[in-house]
Structure 1
Amino acid sequence: MDLEARASILRAGIAAPSADNSQPWRFAWSGDDLDIHIDADRSGSVSDTRHVLSDLAAGACMENMIIHARSLGFDADVATFPHQDDPQWVAHIHWHPALVPARSEPLATAIEQRHTDRRFPWRGPIDANTRERLAAQARQIPGQRLYWPTSPYERKLALRIIRTAETLRFKSPKLHAELFSSVRFSTGWRNTCEEGLAPATLAVEPPMRPIFQALRHPAVMRAFNHLGTATLLGWRSAYLPIRLSPGLCVCVMPSDERQDVLACGRALQRVWLEATVAGLSVQPYAAPGVLSLGFVPVEPAFLQTCSQLRVDLDKLCGPGHGLVFLRLGYARSAPQHRSGRRAPASFDTAP
């Protein structure tokens, strides 16, 4: 594998999604072998306890690399969590020439196009054939599946789960601090940034922008919460856009073990890339699944809420554990602003 192929594979991995655009990866090459590590400086936040969000992002990163490498004529031998004494070493990949020549990989063409779209409403419907194509991509990763809440009861339950989790992100001081620390208000409302969330990508309506920016201050958030603002924000950020969108599904993994979280990230990325190929817009919601695992050290007053999220998720899509919801639909146009990425050199790559 030459340097150009390595660089190309690395760029594909970096294009993967990560929680709040944290990009928590480090890479090291040794010949045709690549090690993927979690970046300790960009992981371990409150919601990333036990590296759930970082493992999810690492799985998506790894799947991007595997898909892109196949388009270049390389296959991968993957060992996940190769050293028990190093919990941040998530994968060791050996690349080798594929048994068949380089072939067209439809998902590879979508890697650079994939993005989060927080606007609403989105048009539909999403036909049964498209839903099956997305579900088939999830099944490509052993043990993973996609679940579609379709009945009125399931849809109502899913909406309640997501709205509860999104509301909690504004009610809990720990989660509130984590959320707003990722927003780069210094970039303004017209620019993007290479790390974290630029305000322009959040689809906040212009009249609400000064209020939203003020809510980053804990004292302001506490004062507004007395007026029910957290509930209103949960309604605006989750219930309303999902209620107005034609598609909702959830990535379900068989257990909460790190191996399955990593695999869920791989399945999530395949689904998202297939959705991009199909012309769908996507917005992920990871808070319900992550908070329901019981790993996140929220304040005692909110522990019961997290426990109820687990109960409701089990009712919705058990057996297994629903980790990431995806809101789906057809947007009239591509979003004007997208999250950026750091330069490849900043990921501590070795030649």
Structure 2
Amino acid sequence: MWTVNQDMKVDILRAGIAAPSADNSQPWRFTWGDDHLDVRIDATRSGNVSDTRYVLSDLAAGACVENMVIQGRSLGYAAQVDVFPEAGDELWIARIRWRRDPDGQRDPLAAAIDSRHTDRSFPWRGAIAPSAQARLDAQAERIEGARLCWPRAGREKSMALKLVRLAESLRFRSPALHAELFSSIRFAAGWDAVCEEGLAPATLAVERPMRPAFEAMRRPAVMRVLNRFGAAAMLGWRSAWLPIRLSPGLCLLVVPSAARTDVFAGGRALQRVWLEATLAGLSVQPYAAAGVLSLGFVPVEPHLRQALSRLDAGLAPLCGNGRGLVFLRLGQSRSAPPRRSGRRAMDSFGPG
């Protein structure tokens, strides 16, 4: 093992921090040793209702670790990742041990770490070339047990659209999920600025005429009234069904089980697929609600439990022997999003 110098530590951490996380929560903490880096879940930024049993945090941590492994390799360091090193510590996700490997093969995905982003615009154009799809499949399969499922036109695609729409509408029907969603949106930033944590309104691609109504929806009483007129179903249609229907590509990340080790591995595979898509010039929007809610960990209100059962039953034929975690909408946008989510200062992630 070799000691990683300070400049290398900064480069590796910067890559990890650039990873995606649910609602831009950035739920990571880092601590460096001489030749290793400990990655922990930040309990102050995790464990919300959708993150029960740390499903979303494990996904984010997997993406974060994979970014750091990729970046470390580009700097001449090989990584050994020990997952959940201490069984009694549920927040200690991984210990990454580093060794100098100047002759190791560099990972081309490192070039996409800084430019990877979520794009919520639509419609997108251009079919996904078979060669690009094959590269995305190969990146997912670099992580043991992970794979991509591509719902085809017809019954499979129709079922996928219904499931994603149902899951997204539940985020507005459930008071607990509604409160969680709107607490992550930083309305104080306005519609033209970004923020270093959470979701800036400018990144949500809400049409200008709809912005006042969307802001009003953060109040539970307003949302309850609007839901009497089908608002949640309409929002699921607008935020999920329509963008996916008007995009050329949709895939589902599948892992062997709902075990935390498999969810963490799914985060690593998700990041590799997303970086490969970025290199291929593809726009990406993730939809995690269907997969996460179908696992049955999220404690939604009793009257919505039947909807969760429908999610689980609907995903099963798409996944085969596995669990679907995240849908990815893929295509080619006319232009990059005008705003991207920010990141907190590096020193806020721990003593690394």
Interval containing the TM-score (normalised by the shorter chain): over 0.9
**Contact residue 72 and residue 102 of structure 1 kept, 8 A:** no
Q: Within 5 Å, which residues of 2 pair with 1:319-334?
A: 319-334=321-336
**Contact residue 78 and residue 104 of structure 2 kept, 8 A:** no
**Residue number in structure 1 paired with 2:206:** 204
Q: Within 5 Å, which residues of 2 pair with 1:94-113?
A: 94-98=97-101, 100-101=102-103, 103-113=105-115
Deviations 1:285-339 (A, max 9, x none): 0000000000000000011110110110001222101100000000111111000
Tell me, in whole angstroms, the C-alpha distance in 2 between the residues paired with 1:44 and 1:230. Answer: 24
**Residue number in structure 2 paired with 1:13:** 16
SS in 1 for 2:326: strand
Tell me, in whole angstroms, the C-alpha distance in 1 between the residues paired with 2:105 and 2:6. Answer: 20
Q: 1:317 aligns with which of 306, 316, 319?
A: 319
TM-fit CA distance, 1:85: 1.0
Which 4+ residue blocks in structure 1 deviate beyond 4 angstroms? Answer: none
Establish whether residue 42 from structure 1 lines up as the match of residue 45 from structure 2. yes
Tell me, in whole angstroms, the C-alpha distance in 1 between the residues paired with 2:109 and 2:166. Answer: 33
Q: 1:224 aligns with which of 223, 226, 234?
A: 226
Tell me, in whole angstroms, the C-alpha distance in 2 between the residues paired with 1:315 and 1:166. Answer: 20
- In structure 2, what residue type is equivalent to 1:206? R
SS in 2 for 1:331: coil
Q: 1:234 aligns with which of 225, 236, 246?
A: 236
Tell me, in whole angstroms, the C-alpha distance in 1 between the residues paired with 2:277 and 2:136. Answer: 7
TM-fit CA distance, 1:102: 5.7
Tell me, in whole angstroms, the C-alpha distance in 2 between the residues paired with 1:334 and 1:229. Answer: 29
Deviations 1:187-222 (A, max 9, x none): 000000000000000000000000000000000000
Establish whether residue 147 from structure 1 lines up as the match of residue 144 from structure 2. no
TM-fit CA distance, 1:158: 0.2
Aligned residue pairs: how many? 349
**Residue number in structure 2 paired with 1:295:** 297
**Residue number in structure 2 paired with 1:272:** 274
Tell me, in whole angstroms, the C-alpha distance in 1 between the residues paired with 2:133 and 2:93. Answer: 31
- In structure 2, what residue type is equivalent to 1:323? L
**Residue number in structure 1 paired with 2:307:** 305
Tell me, in whole angstroms, the C-alpha distance in 2 between the residues paired with 1:175 and 1:39. Answer: 21
Q: 2:192 aligns with which of 172, 175, 190?
A: 190
TM-fit CA distance, 1:104: 4.1
Tell me, in whole angstroms, the C-alpha distance in 1 between the residues paired with 2:315 and 2:243. Answer: 20
**Contact residue 72 and residue 103 of structure 1 kept, 8 A:** no
Tell me, in whole angstroms, the C-alpha distance in 2 between the residues paired with 1:104 and 1:331. Answer: 29
- In structure 2, what residue type is equivalent to 1:2? N
Tell me, in whole angstroms, the C-alpha distance in 2 between the residues paired with 1:318 and 1:134. Answer: 19
SS in 2 for 1:78: strand
TM-fit CA distance, 1:150: 1.1
**Residue number in structure 2 paired with 1:24:** 27
Establish whether residue 77 from structure 1 lines up as the match of residue 80 from structure 2. yes
SS in 1 for 2:317: helix
SS in 1 for 2:108: coil
SS in 2 for 1:216: coil
Tell me, in whole angstroms, the C-alpha distance in 2 between the residues paired with 1:349 and 1:252. Answer: 35
**Contact residue 33 and residue 92 of structure 1 kept, 8 A:** yes
Q: 1:86 aligns with which of 68, 89, 94?
A: 89
Tell me, in whole angstroms, the C-alpha distance in 1 between the residues paired with 2:107 and 2:334. Answer: 26
**Contact residue 26 and residue 36 of structure 1 kept, 8 A:** yes
Tell me, in whole angstroms, the C-alpha distance in 1 between the residues paired with 2:322 and 2:175. Answer: 30
- In structure 2, what residue type is equivalent to 1:42? R
TM-fit CA distance, 1:349: 2.5
**Contact residue 149 and residue 318 of structure 2 kept, 8 A:** no
Establish whether residue 169 from structure 1 lines up as the match of residue 171 from structure 2. yes
**Contact residue 16 and residue 61 of structure 1 kept, 8 A:** yes
- In structure 2, what residue type is equivalent to 1:87? E
Q: Aligned-residue CA RMSD in angstroms? A: 0.8
Tell me, in whole angstroms, the C-alpha distance in 1 between the residues paired with 2:264 and 2:59. Answer: 5
SS in 2 for 1:107: helix
**Residue number in structure 1 paired with 2:64:** 61
Tell me, in whole angstroms, the C-alpha distance in 2 between the residues paired with 1:218 and 1:135. Answer: 41
After TM superposition, the score normalised by the length of structure 1 is: 0.98
Tell me, in whole angstroms, the C-alpha distance in 2 between the residues paired with 1:7 and 1:139. Answer: 29
SS in 2 for 1:296: coil
Q: Structure 2, unaligned stretches of length 5 or more?
A: none
Tell me, in whole angstroms, the C-alpha distance in 1 between the residues paired with 2:332 and 2:104. Answer: 32
